[in-house]
Each structure stands twice: as C-alpha cells, then as structure tokens.
Structure 1
Amino acid sequence: MSAESALVTYARQRDTSNKSRVAILAGAKLVIAKVGNYQSNIADIAVSAQVAKATIYNQFADKAEMMESLVESEVIRLTELALAASSRQEGLALLSNAISQDLALRKLVESDPSDIARLVTITNHPTWVLVHQGIAKVFGADSAACGVILRWLIGQIASPITEEESVAQARRLAASLFN
C-alpha cells in the first residue's frame, strides 16, 4: 500500500470514527432525555445511535467517559451557537433558550439531582475551563461579565425560562454588561 493510499484509508476511518462518535453522543443525549443518566445503559444508547455496542466501546472506555465527552461536546455546540449569533444579545438569548429547553437537562434535574449539583459546581475541571474559554470567546474576556453570564445560564438549568423570557432577560443583561 502506498503512503497516499494509507493516508486516504486513515482519513476514511477517522471520518467514520467521528461520525460514529457524533451518533453515539446524540444517541446518549436522546436516551438521557427519556430515562436520565442512571437509568441509561450502553445497549439502549447503541440502539438510539444505530451503532453496535462494540462501536461505543471502541470510542469510549466506559459510560463515564462517554458522558464526559457528551458534556464537553455540548459546551462546544453551545459556544458555536453563540458565536454564530449576530450580536452578544442574540448570543445570550440563544444560549439561554438552548439551556432552558434542553430535554436531557430537564430529565437530569428530575431524575439525577446529585449529578446536576456536580455539573453546575464551578471547579478547575477541564470541562469548566472549556466553559470559561467559550464564554470569554463569545462575550469578551472581562471576567466579571463572564461570571455574571455563567451564573445566569447555570440558574436556567434548574429553573428554565421561556423563549420570550430568554429574549427579554438577554436584552437587559446585554444592556447592563455591554453598553
């Protein structure tokens, strides 16, 4: 096999691996939205993701690693959502609405409150570092503003708000932080 053929084969395998990983994380989120984290299992996630259980274990050492990756991918997804907004105010509203309407978060609040408590406890964990970096990237590096935004969004995990409330609160928050 030539070096060029090997690179093409590697790229295809990596592409398939990334597609599988995305499907697994999406499947995990769907299962969590239905039954919560503790009641979810690899077999149901595999069915939801339309992959074999072995594919999940090829991507992740265990369910805990998969859940960590799911949280990380959600942070990245939300950062990209806010970065695509036309203004900081729109970014705030989009984040607020995405968090408030997230069915997996709703189910976790109901079924796994201790997990939610750990999830919203700000630490030096790499995922929280990623969260801080994402907020700073979207809204600027002012740590006071980032802290206010972060706490406002965390509050919506346990106490979701409507889309209209997200827009109104985002408008007020943007006016106080960015004007």
Structure 2
Amino acid sequence: MSRGNATTSRPRGGLADKRRAILAGALTVFARDGYTRASIDSIAATAGVSTRTIYNHFADKTELFQTVIQESAGRAAAFQVAIIDRHLHKITDLESDLVEFGRALTRPVTSEHAEHFALVRQINAEAGHIPQAVIDVWQETGPLRVRRELAGHLRQWADRGLLHVDDPDRAAVHLLLLISASNPSLPGAVPDDREIDEMVRSGVRAFLHGYLPR
C-alpha cells in the first residue's frame, strides 16, 4: 500500500513542477515577444519541456496566455495592494503621506515583477489582437483590484472630511495617473530618482488641488 501511494504521489509532484516550468517559460516568452508572435515551440524550448507536455496542461496558446497573465497580475496586484495598505492605512499629513505612497508605488520595478510589466506593455501594444475575455481577466485580477483598494482609502478619507470625493473609483484613477513617473513623450525611458520625486510631488499637489474640500 505504501509503495502504491509513493508511486502515485510522484507523478502529481512532477505534473505540478512541469506546470510551473511551463508558466515561467511562457511568461518570459510572452513578455519578450507578445501574444501574437509567441509560439508554443518557443515556450516549450524556454520551459525545457516538449510541446506535447504543454498541450497536456493547456488546450491552446490562448488558455496558456490567460493563465499566465492571471497569475502574474495577481502577484503584481498583491505587491501593489501591500504598498497601499502600508502607506495609507493611517494618515497623519495628507500631502506628505501621499508623496511617500507615490514614491513607493512608482519606484523602479524590481526584477521579481519586471517580466509582468513587460507583459503588460505587450498587451497594451496589441490589445486588439488579444481575446477580450483575456483582457477582462487581466483587468479584474490586476489593475481593477488595485484601483478598488485605493478607492476604498479615498472613500474613508472623504468620510472623515479630508477630501471631497464624489466618485472614489474615478478619484483613484486620477491619483494613479497623476503620480505616474512615466513620460508618454519618451516611451521606454527610465526616470531617475529625482524625476520620480518631482513627478510624484507635482502629481500629488494636482490631485489635492482637485479633491481637497472646497
């Protein structure tokens, strides 16, 4: 009996390891090549598995891509939600606390999440070629989760009279856009610490100008 249990447990562990290898390899390839250009052959080579193994786990490239973006977005969102909770759970000075939050949220991406945000850039570049259901899953798992978390804090501050907010979700979008350290006129440029600090400070001031109680 014990030999039978050991025999059946090994394949399960092996299958889980293969699935993790497939997802890691697929994230690398999708982040580099995008959805339309990525091939199952390239993913298999990167993951160190056969194409047949991939099809044993996923019906097609679309299902694999959806799983990759859902899991990757979930990890990135959890990271960003932790930043929101850490910096905004208790407000002592609205402007300075928002600046510190903005700095933490917009600091250069760590290697742990670099592939995810490279994948997001690929999605934005070829959104019209990606099934809408996949886009919806990504949005719900990642950006919308982060926005809802931030909106909850803004709603609480409005209830305390710190802000005048009619629509917390829209206010969260405004804040996230205003503290972004990216420069749309210089796509791909990586801002330095001084540029990030200036963008965050000016963005927070613009946000407060629009949302402080009248």
TM bin, normalised by shorter chain, reads: 0.5 to 0.7
Choose 1 or 2 for highest CA Rg: 2
Report deviation, 1:172. Answer: 4.3
Specify the alignment match of 2:190 in structure 1.
Answer: 162
User: Match of 1:93?
Assistant: 106
Alignment partner of 1:38 out of 36, 47, 70:
36
Q: Distance in 2 between matches of 1:82 and 1:35?
A: 25
- Aligned twin of 1:128: 139
1:43-54 residue pairs with structure 2 within 5 A? 43-54=41-52
Unaligned runs of 5+ residues in structure 2 are 88-100, 153-167
Q: Determine if contact 1:96/1:166 at 8 Å carries over to the other structure.
A: no
Q: Give, in whole Å, the separation in 1 of the partners of 2:36 and 2:50.
A: 21
Cα drift, residue 148 of structure 1? 2.6
TM-score if structure 1 supplies the norm length?
0.63
Q: How many residues align?
A: 167
- Deviation string 1:42-77 (CA, Å, 9 cap, x unpaired) is 111011011222221222110011111122122112
- Kindly tell me: are residues 81 and 9 of structure 1, through their superposed partners in 2, closer, same or farther at Cα, counting changes over 3 Å? same
Percent of pairs with identical residues: 22
Residue 87 (structure 2) pairs with residue 74 (structure 1)? no
TM-align CA RMSD: 4.4
Segments of structure 1 that go 5 or more residues without pairing to the other structure are none
CA contact (8 A) 2:31 2:119 kept: yes
Please give the alpha-carbon distance, in whole angstroms, between the structure 2 residues aligned to 1:116 and 1:22: 26
Relative distance call for 1:144 and 1:75 in structure 2 (3 A) is same
**Counterpart Cα distance in 2 of 1:63 and 1:169:** 39
